[in-house]
Homo-oligomer: A and B are copies of this chain.
Amino acid sequence: MISVVVVGAETPGNIGTIARAMKNFGVSDLKLVDPPELHRDGEAYGFAGQAREDILPNAEEVSFEEIVENYHTIGFTATTNEDARRHVRFPFRTPEELADDLAEIETDVALVFGRERVGLTNEELARIDQICAIPASAEYPVLNLGQAATIALYELRELTMDESQLPDVERERAIEPEIERFYERFDAMLGAVSYPEEKRAKTMRLVRRLVGRAHPTGREITTLHGVLRVIERATQERYSGR
């Protein structure tokens, strides 16, 4: 199971933001070390979205020691050590690597986030099992606490979410005969409107490339067939109207 631990946060709004991200990505256990007061009508609840119903009221106040003792702890920091000369913030994983890492083990994991300004102290990090750093612009790599937790939870979603809201779209490319029939029909249409014969093959190649790489849906191909049908009709009328 994956839990989130926030150490020494000062801004209730950040705790609400974290609770919301947890709910968005399927994590429910929130633990707080030295939290600020969280009022029902305050910012934490205001920022939590639907997490105000469960994650936030169920958040448990704990000591840092209890976390170190009972969890495989992952400490988040924007500032890593440069190399192997110091190990307080080194070696580190990115959240992406962490997701691969944690997929291979079965244990209770605590994602530990620190204070708004100073993050986790070196003393705290020294007691933590693994270090994780979110890659960000060298110019300004320091993320806001709530935003850092949001990204971490997003990256670990495969481990925590049962299913996403998104439909499975593997099967949404139109069936090949329908697409093929569209090319044939398009080519016939070029003939009917007296498209220059010497350009016809090349144009068909372009159409095939364009439509092919867009992976048209069934509905899109049906619509394009419909467009061709109307062109066909208009063309026949024009000829028969002569």
- How many copies of this chain sit in the oligomeric assembly? 2
A94-B151 in contact given A84-B220, A144-B47 (Cβ < 8 Å): no
Question: A21-29, A60-68, A185-193: which lies at the B interface?
Answer: A21-29
A147-B144 in contact given A161-B137, A166-B133, A217-B87 (Cβ < 8 Å): no
A147 near B20 (CB under 8 angstroms)? yes
A220 near B87 (CB under 8 angstroms)? yes
B140 near A50 (CB under 8 angstroms)? yes
Contact residues of A: prevailing secondary structure:
loop
A70 interfacial contact with B, CB 8 Å: no
Smallest Cβ-Cβ distance to A165: which chain B residue: B141
B84 near A165 (CB under 8 angstroms)? no
Residues from 124 to 177 in A contacting B, C-beta threshold 8 Å: 133-144, 146-147, 150-151, 154, 157, 161-167, 169, 172, 174
Question: A1-9, A31-39, A74-82: which lies at the B interface?
Answer: A74-82
A12 interfacial contact with B, CB 8 Å: no
A144-B20 in contact given A82-B167, A151-B154 (Cβ < 8 Å): yes
**Of B78, B94, B135, B164, which contacts A138 at CB under 8 A?**
B164
**Of B20, B86, B90, B137, which contacts A25 at CB under 8 A?**
B137
Compute how far the CA of A157 lies from the CA of B125 in the bound complex, rounded to whole angstroms: 27
